[in-house]
Amino acid sequence: MDYSENAKNINTAMKLFGNYDEDDVEGVLIDVSEKIQELEQHYGLVHDIFKEVNSSSDDEAYLQLLEDGPKREIFYKSLNEFIKNLNECLVLQDFVHEFKHLDAYRKDLKKFMELRSSASLRYADRVDLSQYKQSLVNILDKYVDAQGVELLTKQVNITDSEAFEEAVENLGSDKSKAEAIAAQTQKTITEKMGTDPEFYETFSKKISEVLEAMREGKLADVETLKQMKLIRDDVISKKDESLPEKIRVSAEQRSRP
């Protein structure tokens, strides 16, 4: 294989891989065609996850597919590998000239990042993408500014009411919004259960009952969303009108600093 055209990639490759021994630089060459092949493989792996719904333009279909936890984990990991590989390719001098699908890959990456953001919100996953922020700024500069990348990688906290409400509104359907609020509220309940088991167990049961009613068709999606918002607010403020007065006052007193 002729690596003569790739010799000029050595310096950028060394920058990419960070710490290195200068004695190792000699003879280190990157074959752009091999990196492109690797990139196409990672791109294909992400797409294969959604082969059942690839013909659909409905975001809800993609989110429903990701309801399966293991499949969602595969998606997150495959997407991270795709981001890493695309960023590695972009620092190679010949890549943009040899690879003809860069624009399409960037567009799809933006779509996958939006899906990742929606999925992690809906299913209350903690997905740390801080190490990829600068890479995403470089890759998506044509489509998303730095602020947009921040929004795509930001972990939304349920206690940040304004940011959380804005993120939930982007989910589209009332069902998705209701399930996202339920998942995030349940996560908060799980984290705080030890501080007041009686209070948080009450709301955990409420969430399960409301979701079950929705899934059985006994409660409309819009009404489910309304009830989930009320439950979320009560959990955050630590208020439960269904508890006996004496217990409720005690719980509220315990929640005060």
* Residue 29 neighbours by CB under 8 Å, 6+ apart: 3, 6, 7, 9, 10
Handedness of CA 71, 77, 80, 84 (dihedral sign): negative
Q: Which residue has the higher pLDDT, 15 or 40?
A: 40
Taking alpha carbons only, the member of 163, 169, 167, 50 closest to residue 112 is 50
pTM of the entire predicted model: 0.72
What gap in Å lies between CA 139 and CA 88, rounded to an integer? 10
The phi and psi torsions of 107 (rounded to 5 degrees) equal -60, -45
Flag whether pLDDT at 3 surpasses 90: no
Residue 129 pLDDT: 74
What gap in Å lies between CA 218 and CA 145, rounded to an integer? 43
Under the banding of pLDDT at 50, 70 and 90, the label for residue 59 is confident
* Least confident range of 89-103, 104-118, 214-228, 237-251: 237-251
Each residue's pLDDT tens digit, 138-196: 787 766 666 677 667 777 778 888 888 888 888 878 998 999 999 999 999 999 999 99
pLDDT mean over 193-208: 93
Q: For residues 38 and 85, is the Cβ–Cβ distance under 8 A?
A: yes
Q: For residues 123 and 66, is the Cβ–Cβ distance under 8 A?
A: yes
pLDDT mean over 88-117: 89
pLDDT mean over 56-78: 88
CA distance readout (Å), 7 to 55, 82, 101, 219, 244: 42, 25, 24, 65, 76
pLDDT mean over 196-222: 93
Q: Which two tokens stand for residue 186?
A: 């349940």
Residue 21 pLDDT: 53
Domain ranges of the chain: 4-153, 161-255
